[in-house]
């Protein structure tokens, strides 16, 4: 199985008519994803490479039966795009856009939790989600992902998401689903959300988790793993050499007041029984050992 996304998922691309949206929409469609519609209020009735464009998400849902969307809208329009998707009843909303204001993220995060609990937001500022061999929504290169399980991947970092997939592919290890949750301060989906889903998925036998400095998400995930997960986990935490008080790459990757360091996160994960690598390759090697003993 896979989590959140499979070959039956019909996806609307909010921003399909733009250069970036059309590029990745075409790549995702070529991979096998059911890209069934795009939206643009001024281009309704047209199409992008045969994919029809609707004025609104609600109209696209009514016409196609879509249950998911992928957002390639510029940062200033993301709040409206997320809420439009939720109001149309979509189950999964994947927001690739970076640079979304933190107060906008906080607004729609809380609004979804309160009023649209059946809508899962992935991102913003994330690479998306891929269930190898089934569907790919976002900007992950499909050719680096081996299908067939038994490993699930969840990562804060986009680049390290790709490296995790590649490390496992090189070791002939398949993946059920790889989820890039993004590195912004208010992600719509957390490590724990993904760990819960992987724990419940019968085809996922082990999990690879990629973290980074800043915040407490990895420590919270470690506590969840310790108390609620029966499946083995390998991990890597980026930022061991990062200087305190400086943002490193992501808006959420900042160490402040001695909190959020890579060392503290690694210690919490190790205490929870996670096999922690000192680099992505070592994390992949640890996963190879885990898979060999499944």
Strand pairing report for 275-277 and 10-14: unpaired
96 & 158 share domain: no
Compute the average pLDDT of residues 13-17.
Answer: 97
Q: Tokens representing 287?
A: 């996963």
Rounded Cα gap, residues 262 and 214, in angstroms: 8
CATH number of the domain enclosing 185: 3.40.50.261
Q: How many domains does the chain fold into?
A: 2
Please confirm, yes or no, whether 103 is among the known catalytic residues: no
CATH number of the domain enclosing 24: 3.40.50.720
118 & 179 share domain: no
Q: Tokens representing 44?
A: 């309704």
Residue 253 has pLDDT above 50, yes or no: no
* 175 within 8 A of 151, measured Cβ to Cβ: yes
Pick the closest to residue 13 from 266, 64, 152 (CA basis). 64
Q: How confident is the model at residue 243 (pLDDT cuts 50, 70, 90)?
A: low
216 & 287 share domain: yes
Map residue 42 onto helix, strand or coil: coil
**pTM of the complete model:** 0.93
Pick the closest to residue 109 from 158, 218, 182 (CA basis). 182
Q: How far is CA 218 from the centre of its chain?
A: 15
167 & 209 share domain: yes
Write down the pLDDT at residue 105: 96
31 & 174 share domain: no
72 & 162 share domain: no
150 & 111 share domain: no
Rounded Cα gap, residues 242 and 94, in angstroms: 29
Q: Which residue has the tokens 């793993």?
A: 225
Q: Tokens representing 279?
A: 């680099």
Residue 251 has pLDDT above 60, yes or no: no
147 & 229 share domain: yes
The residues, any chain, with a CB within 8 Å of residue 129's CB and separated by 6 or more, are 4, 5, 94, 122, 136, 137, 138, 140, 177, 178, 179, 180
Q: Which of 122, 153, 174 is the last residue of a domain?
A: 122
Summarised one tens digit per residue, pLDDT across range 109-124 is 999 999 999 999 999 9
161 & 27 share domain: no
Map residue 57 onto helix, strand or coil: helix
148 & 282 share domain: yes
Residue of 40, 103, 228, 250 with catalytic role: 250
Q: How far is CA 253 from the centre of its chain?
A: 17
Tell me the residue range of the domain where 53 lies: 10-122
Domain-embedded: residue 129: no
Domain-embedded: residue 196: yes
Summarised one tens digit per residue, pLDDT across range 58-97 is 999 999 999 999 999 999 999 999 999 999 999 999 999 9
């Amino acid at each position: 199985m896979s989590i959140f996304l499979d070959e039956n998922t019909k996806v609307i691309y909010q921003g399909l008519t733009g250069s970036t949206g059309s590029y990745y929409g075409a790549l995702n469609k070529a991979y096998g994803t059911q890209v069934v519609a795009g939206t643009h209020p001024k281009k309704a009735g047209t199409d992008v490479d045969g994919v029809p464009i609707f004025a609104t998400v609600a109209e696209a849902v009514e016409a196609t039966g879509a249950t998911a969307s992928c957002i390639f809208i510029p940062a200033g329009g993301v709040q409206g795009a997320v809420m439009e998707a939720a109001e149309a009843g979509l189950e999964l909303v994947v927001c690739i856009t970076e640079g979304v204001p933190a107060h906008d993220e906080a607004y729609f995060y809380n609004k979804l939790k309160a009023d649209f609990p059946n809508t899962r937001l992935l991102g913003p500022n994330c690479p998306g989600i891929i269930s190898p061999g089934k569907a790919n929504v976002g900007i992950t290169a499909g050719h680096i992902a081996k299908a067939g399980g038994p490993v699930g991947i969840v990562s804060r970092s986009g680049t390290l998401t790709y490296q995790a997939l590649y490390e496992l592919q090189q070791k002939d290890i398949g993946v059920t689903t790889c989820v890039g949750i993004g590195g912004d301060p208010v992600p719509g989906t957390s490590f724990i959300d993904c760990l819960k889903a992987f724990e419940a998925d019968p085809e996922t036998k082990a999990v690879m988790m990629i973290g980074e400095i800043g915040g407490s998400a990895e420590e919270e995930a470690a506590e969840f793993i310790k108390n609620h997960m029966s499946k083995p986990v390998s991990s890597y935490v980026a930022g061991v050499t990062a200087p305190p008080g400086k943002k490193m790459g992501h808006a959420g990757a900042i160490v402040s007041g001695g909190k959020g360091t890579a060392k503290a996160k690694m210690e919490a994960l190790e205490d929870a029984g996670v096999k922690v690598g000192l680099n992505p390759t070592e994390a992949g090697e640890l996963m190879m050992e885990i898979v060999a003993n499944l």
